[in-house]
Amino acid sequence: MPEEVEVTIVTVRDIFQDEAAKKSRFSQEYEKLSALIVLDKQDMARLAVKDGQKLLVKNDAGSVIVAVKTSADEAHPGLAFMNNSPWSNQLVADSVGESSIPGFKSIKAKLARTEETANVTPITELFSRMKG
Amino acid sequence: MATCTGCSLLCEDIEATVKDGGLSHVKNLCRKGHGHFQAVFTERTVPSVDGQKVDLEKAILAAAEILKNAKNPLLYGWSNSTLEAQAAGIRLAEKIGATIDDTSSFCQGLLMERIIAGTIPTCTLDDVRNFADTSIFWGSDPSNSHPRHLSRFSYYPRGDKRQRSYEEERTCIAVDVRKSATAQLCSNYYFLVQPGGDAEFMEAIISVLDGKIPKVADKKKMIELGTLLKKTEYGVIFPGLGMVYSMQDRMDLFERLMARLNEITTFRAIPMVGHYNMRGFNELLKEKTGFINRVSFKGGAAAHGSESSVLSAAKSCDAALVIGSDPLSSLPFGTARLLSKKPMIAIDPRRSLTTDAAKVVIPSALSGMEAGGTAVRMDGVKIRFEPIIESKMPTDEEILTRIMEAI
């Protein structure tokens, strides 16, 4: 079993998460739909994780702990999806090219299993990191 | 009828029932719109300075003081404000020599610039409903982002020339990196592209339109697509962020594709703008300065450049006024972190990471529900709306005017 799996994360929109964001960015519902990564079943197998387990997602920009879910799409190993949110933005590099647009939809990151008792990174922690 | 400002479709058919001065029932909202209307009841902000609740006047004076003392202020947000508030914001930027930018700077700006300049042909959503027989959702997923797009305009409605609609007359095509909810609807016309592969896909379409063999794995399917596009009477492409982020500096290729399609038939493009009045800000700033975003009034005249983009200005500014936006949630963490440490003024009806970090918070009325005004729909149609319920909260425009008077 590999300790880490490398993926490219593409951020997407989700109507349920959008609705939750409009109600409150500080709600459990918003956290549940944002602190989430969707993986291909091959990547799930490589990491030996099941739906709902937590993963550490990290790169040079930052790191977050999020829950994992198996993709219902056709096979896409190496490609992961996250709903656009402050959690995915922890992983977006600051540097930009000529167009000054960050790589929101092409985030290279490494995934690793966490302790079974680990919780997803709460929004309060994301805020503390910012102000810290 | 009320107007929903939950996204840039600005749905004008919302039936709202008001009882005892408050909202009691609302009909015709999508799920996203429902969340937006719930905002009346949740996470409302109060006037504050340094985390302490103050009266509104004190918060406005504190905001004016910050901006008066700033040498390099940034005014950011604007896509969730009315045209009237945006005009007041541009006047404020001119007055204090500020940098002004909106969410289009890292969203649909690259495309919107070309739409407004007329180098990419566009049309209205009403034209789509009445005439379009082919809709292409390219890097966009309206089922999730603009839930009533398909039912009001692009697929299901029986328009003037499309009475047989989706059953016989309309075809929808999805080009995406995943089989999104919208792509599932498109069935046989779902084209999978690899992340960053949109330019290659565009080149393949141009090849088949030119009668050449496309350089893609599934040549047969691409030739079928070319045939469908050639047979189209009125086609519309709806580019989402998936396409814009993938193309970035190669947007000229999209212009070339549109030009080639229009040599054969009629094809238009409407960017899938997210926030309800992003296009309004872009048109207004263009009219005033010649640029749709990323403008600095430092030194008097309007100057445009990447150094005036929110990504750069968040780092270089010495104070920021943020209106109707939550950059601490939507910017890359490193940039958000730097911005959070600057003296920030947040004008927002609702709590966010940005209001939590702001030195001064000024609550405002929710546009469309508590405040009226004018906005520009994603297709350039101007929509005027009235408030549904009375509110003691000032509008964005009133707040900006009072700040300007206090400087």
Q: How many C-beta neighbours within 10 Å does residue A95 have?
A: 11
- The CATH architecture of the domain made up of B45-106+276-406 is 3-Layer(aba) Sandwich (3.40)
What is the structure's pLDDT at B396? 98
What is the structure's pLDDT at A116? 82
Percent of chain A with pLDDT over 70: 98
Helix (H) or strand (E) holding B49: strand B48-49
Q: Which of A68-72, B35-39, B143-147, B337-341 has the lowest mean pLDDT?
A: B35-39
Token digits for B304? 């445009």
Residue of B177, B306, B310, B341 for testing the chain A interface, max A β-carbons within 10 Å: B177
pLDDT in tens, B314-327: 999 999 999 999 99
- Can you tell me the mean pLDDT for B366-379? 96
* pLDDT score of B404 more than 90: yes
Provide the mean pLDDT of chain B. Answer: 96
Instruction: Report the half-sphere exposure of B368 (CA within 13 A, side-chain side).
Output: 28
Which part of chain B is CATH 3.40.50.740?
45-106+276-406
What is the structure's pLDDT at A2? 58
pLDDT band at B9 (very low <50, low <70, confident <90, very high): very high
Q: Global pTM?
A: 0.96
Nearest CA to CA, how far is B160 from chain A (Å)?
30
pLDDT in tens, B199-236: 999 999 999 999 999 888 789 999 999 999 999 999 99
The CATH number for A4-131, chosen from 2.60.120.330, 3.10.310.10, 2.40.40.20, 2.60.120.1440, is 2.40.40.20
Per 3-state DSSP, chain A is made up of helix, strand and coil in percentages (nearest 5) of 25, 30, 45
What is the structure's pLDDT at B24? 86
* pLDDT score of B363 more than 80: yes
* pLDDT score of B43 more than 70: yes
CA distances from A25 to A9, B49, B328, B353 (A): 22, 22, 12, 8
Whether the CB of B305 is below 8 Å from some CB of chain A: the reply is no
- Can you tell me the mean pLDDT for B289-308? 95
What is the structure's pLDDT at A107? 95
What is the structure's pLDDT at B273? 98
Query: What residues pair up with B52 in beta bridges, in sequence order?
Result: B49
Whether the CB of B246 is below 8 Å from some CB of chain A: the reply is yes
Which part of chain B is CATH 3.40.228.10?
109-269
Would the CB atoms of A89 and B331 count as touching at under 8 Å? yes
Would the CB atoms of A18 and B356 count as touching at under 8 Å? no
Closest CA to B345 of B406, B391, B276, B284: B406
The CATH number for B109-269, chosen from 2.60.40.10, 3.10.105.10, 3.40.50.2300, 3.40.228.10, is 3.40.228.10
What is the structure's pLDDT at B41? 86
- Can you tell me the mean pLDDT for B261-285? 98
- Can you tell me the mean pLDDT for B32-45? 92
* Chain A residues close to B336, C-beta within 8 Å: 86, 89, 130
pLDDT in tens, A45-68: 999 999 999 999 999 999 999 999
Residues 31-90 of A with CB under 8 A from B: 61-62, 73-74, 76, 79, 81, 84-86, 89-90
Q: Which residues contact B39 (CB under 8 A, 6 or more apart)?
A: A22, A23, B349, B350, B366, B369
Whether the CB of B177 is below 8 Å from some CB of chain A: the reply is yes
Token digits for B298? 């430092």
Low-confidence spans in chain A with pLDDT less than 50: none
What is the structure's pLDDT at A1? 53
Closest CA to B104 of B370, B389, B325, B351: B325
Nearest CA to CA, how far is A120 from chain B (Å)?
17
CA distances from B15 to A124, B28, B224, B329, B388 (A): 37, 7, 44, 32, 10
Q: Which residues contact B312 (CB under 8 A, 6 or more apart)?
A: A100, B306
